[in-house]
Amino acid sequence: MNAAHRFALRVYYEDTDLAGIVYYANYLKFIERGRSEWVRGLGIDQGKLKAETGVVFAVRRVLADYLKPAVYDDALVVETRLHSLGNARIDLQQSVLRGDDVLFTAEVTLVCMSADGKAARIPKALRAALG
């Protein structure tokens, strides 16, 4: 749908496991940062959105595929692409790359939730920003 948002990061020693490769759960942290920066890049302040509307986003589903390992000091890029948009759901495709090598991919479903934990419509401002 839209062009990929790109977020650069570096692998630190704390990101690696005993084998010297990025610990598998850290890829989820990397893509979380990528999603946060994607939303920020759309001009949406998530703190302000919560304060004004009570709306937050929660991960509903992640389908992850670990393809190649990243190691200490690698320069990585998280790419985030909007795949589809529902009334209360956002489906994304995310990848972690080292140069041209795709190391990790994920299909992520986010849900928009109200303060009481129930599904809520995606706010108009965010829907407009998503195009």
Alpha carbon distances (Å) from 47 to 50, 111, 112, 124: 5, 16, 14, 16
Helix (H) or strand (E) holding 23: none
The answer to whether 128 and 43 have CB atoms below 8 angstroms apart is no
Q: What is the CA radius of gyration of the chain?
A: 16
Query: Is residue 17 flagged as an active site residue?
Result: yes
Distance between CA 83 and CA 86 in Å, rounded?
Answer: 10
Tracing tokens 């209360």 back to the chain, one arrives at: 88
Which is catalytic among the residues 17, 45, 65, 73?
17
* Residues that are catalytic: 17
